Structure 1
Amino acid sequence: MRALSRPYPARDHAPVLTHVDTAIFTARYFTRCLAHPTCRDWCCSHGVDVDEANVARLLEHADELERFTGIDRARWFRDDVTRDAEFPSGAYRRTRVEDGACVFLDRSARGCRIHAFCIATGSDYHELKPMVSTLFPLTFDEGLLRPSDEVHDHSLVCLDAPDTRPSSPTLYRGVRDELRFYFGEPLLAELDALEAAHTPHAPTRLRVVPG
């Protein structure tokens, strides 16, 4: 773990990053989610934490989302609310799990139905898709930018995919553009320098199509 030179707040003021786990510069994974031959949306198995302000934005589009997904809004979220200062609104709710996967998973075409809705309507998916989903397989924890738990316990199906090495990008490179969106160029400049120190032959920027 390395301390960052200064705190980096997200665009909505939270979370605030102060440290980074340097494993994000070395662990690799298969980023083209819908092209993975065996994962079958494994990362959507458990639902996701959604900031309360994000919940409100989704509910503002509830009529259109219900028509697009065929899922009644009453099924979208669990009732319990967790207070957490690392989320922009200070609290989050979790999406419901139905039949072993997040309620927003497209069971036929695969992928996230929130993301698909944004593409279909020409909207920026950052407005509606949860930040936790967008940054996966990175996450934040008490100021630490780190690999998600599924990376640490090696349960992530697409981690270090042997059939894609060495071309598969690192965790950092896989979500670098998303980090730019939420935290800005100054954080990327510092992370790029740390990446170079830990991987002398760090790759040039790769374009990753979100799943």
Structure 2
Amino acid sequence: MDEQQHERFEDPIDGTIWDVDATFLTSNWTCIWGNGCKGILPTDAEHLNQGCCSHGTRFLDEEESMNTGALAMFLLPSMFQFHAEAHEGGIYADDARTLTRVVDGACIFLNRPGFEGGEGCALHLAAIAAGESPTVWKPSVCWQLPLRAETRPDGTKVLRPWDRSDWDTEHSTIAWCCTEEPEPFVGETTVIHSLAEELTALVGPEVYVQIRDRLGQ
């Protein structure tokens, strides 16, 4: 990507200042899961079609962890490939319930290629089937990707794309980072529009409208 340009927006509700990566938001990045995504393993794993689901996902907090566990109970075997495994051993990787289990080399919720109920995240598929937003069903880190929100010591919020260092502090455990490679920048519209739902959930509707009106193309 080109050198990053940032814009600042103020939330009229609570006064929060958002410093956003305008370069990424106005780019034509798009998720290419299932269409060339190489995943987040140490080597190119496009053939596995795991995307960023190769590891268990970490929950934001206990409330999110419990919510995911409750939603998992409503998933039908026809839509959840590892329903039996979840029933027998639960969905959590640890007693503190901070992380989802890895089953057969990826997150327990990831339906693999060829599964009749649909390939991809079982929570995502269930949300769509229920006519609801995946942002309500999926753990926050999952629906936010490739977006990342952080808080600076002064209280300013930062909105930017994930980069390699967020996944991989040693720059050695992932072969490919989708926000830093050219292949995903092939979308038909800008991130502002293609990820409108996710952006609104992250920054709130008031700030999203400001971003759309100032940067939208």
Whether these two folds match at TM > 0.5 is: yes
Q: 1:138 deviation in Å?
A: 0.7
Which position in structure 2 is the counterpart of 1:180? 200
Give the conservation status (yes or no) of the 8 Å contact 1:138–1:171: no
In 1: Cα distance, 2:98 partner to 2:13 partner = 24
Matched, 1:43 2:52: yes
Give the conservation status (yes or no) of the 8 Å contact 2:29–2:190: yes
Which position in structure 1 is the counterpart of 2:159? 145
The CA deviation string for residues 7-51 of structure 1, in whole angstroms up to 9 with x for no partner, is 777xxxxxx7632122323443333644x1454232222332323
Amino acid at match of 1:117: A
Q: 1:105 deviation in Å?
A: 0.7
Greater helix share, 1 or 2?
1
Q: For residues 183 and 44 of structure 1, do their structure 2 counterparts lie closer, same or farther at Cα, with a shift above 3 Å needed?
A: same
Match of 1:59 among 56, 66, 69: 69
- Helix, strand or coil at the partner of 1:178: helix
Which residues of 2 match residues 84-99 of structure 1 at below 5 A? Answer: 93-99=98-104
Q: Which has the higher contact order (CA 8 A, sep 6+)?
A: 1
Give the conservation status (yes or no) of the 8 Å contact 1:48–1:102: yes
Which position in structure 2 is the counterpart of 1:85? none
Give the conservation status (yes or no) of the 8 Å contact 2:71–2:137: no
Question: If you compute each CA radius of gyration, which structure gives the higher value, 1 or 2?
Answer: 2
In 2: Cα distance, 1:5 partner to 1:146 partner = 16
Q: 1:135 deviation in Å?
A: 2.0
Q: For residues 147 and 158 of structure 1, do their structure 2 counterparts lie closer, same or farther at Cα, with a shift above 3 Å needed?
A: closer
Moved more, 57-66 or 131-140: 57-66
In 2: Cα distance, 1:149 partner to 1:18 partner = 19
- Helix, strand or coil at the partner of 1:49: coil
Q: For residues 114 and 170 of structure 1, do their structure 2 counterparts lie closer, same or farther at Cα, with a shift above 3 Å needed?
A: same
Give the conservation status (yes or no) of the 8 Å contact 1:105–1:113: yes
In 2: Cα distance, 1:44 partner to 1:7 partner = 36
Which residues of 2 match residues 64-143 of structure 1 at below 5 A? Answer: 64-65=74-75, 67=77, 68-69=79-80, 70=83, 71-72=85-86, 74-79=89-94, 93-108=98-113, 109-142=118-151, 143=157
In 1: Cα distance, 2:181 partner to 2:90 partner = 31
Give the conservation status (yes or no) of the 8 Å contact 1:17–1:140: no
> TM-score scaled to structure 1, two decimals?
0.65
Amino acid at match of 1:64: F
Q: For residues 42 and 17 of structure 1, do their structure 2 counterparts lie closer, same or farther at Cα, with a shift above 3 Å needed?
A: farther
Q: 1:137 deviation in Å?
A: 0.8
RMSD (Å) for aligned C-alpha atoms = 3.5
> What is the percent sequence identity of the aligned residues?
25
Structure 2 unpaired stretches of 5+? 1-5, 38-45, 152-156
Amino acid at match of 1:76: I
Amino acid at match of 1:100: G
Q: 1:146 deviation in Å?
A: 0.7
Which position in structure 2 is the counterpart of 1:161? 183
Q: 1:173 deviation in Å?
A: 3.2
Structure 1 unpaired stretches of 5+? 10-15, 82-91, 197-201, 203-211
